[in-house]
Homo-oligomer: A and B are copies of this chain.
């Protein structure tokens, strides 16, 4: 058997929660077939830990580093891979295409800002897709994304990890919107603010929004552990 790692990378963009999907390479000589989208993932190397593999693979495919990255579930159904396209693809790209693969799911949150679409090579391969509009994916990736989303919701409430999805500087309204979209429900503005400020994970900056056609909002950033001043 082989082990792979699949990374469900969440990002947030104005008013959509997105997942990073790659477009699979076309198998040789089958160019007529529409390529499938998939979550970035690959086989774990023989001498590599799971967490390390996840980090490596995510890095290879997105050039991101040092990201909140968490194992959430192992998917081991022996019939995980049944699709014809999936089979074709494996035959073209894997040395042992018939081997059963068990995959370990990781999820991660990134600021879309940090994400570097510079590499045209990259932009060709990877794209952000609205979580609520995900097409059919390769293998069992729809299920994997679904599970990741459940975990994300849970962790969002428990650990307030949501800032990870926002740019360096953000307003509380943006943060609230993020929560509303992930949880798929409206939140009360005043209560939300109380809650967030109480957790003390966020610091107001000197700066304010500008160029908006309404009262400019206070900008915040994530509170980092104090360096000595």
User: Which residue numbers of A lie inside 8 Å of B, CB to CB?
Assistant: 1-3, 44, 46-51, 53, 71, 73-78, 100, 102, 104
Contacts and interface: CB of A to CB of B under 8 A. Distances in A.
A97 B155 CA distance: 39
A76 B1 contact: no
Contact of A76 (B50, B73, B75, B76): B50
A71 B75 CA distance: 10
A47 B104 contact: no
Given A71-B73, A73-B71, A47 B78 contact: yes
Given A71-B73, A71-B74, A3 B102 contact: yes
B76 A104 contact: yes
Nearest to A76: B50
17 contacts: A1-B1, A1-B2, A1-B46, A3-B76, A3-B102, A44-B102, A46-B78, A49-B77, A49-B78, A50-B74, A50-B75, A50-B77, A50-B102, A53-B76, A71-B73, A76-B104, A102-B102
B76 A49 contact: yes
A3 to B, nearest CB: 5
A181 to B, nearest CB: 25
A74 B74 CA distance: 7
Q: Which 4 A-B pairs have the closest CB atoms?
A: A50-B76, A74-B74, A74-B104, A49-B77
A5 B145 CA distance: 24
A100 B44 CA distance: 11
Contacts of A53: 76
A107 to B, nearest CB: 14
Nearest to A1: B3
A51 to B, nearest CB: 8
A25 to B, nearest CB: 24
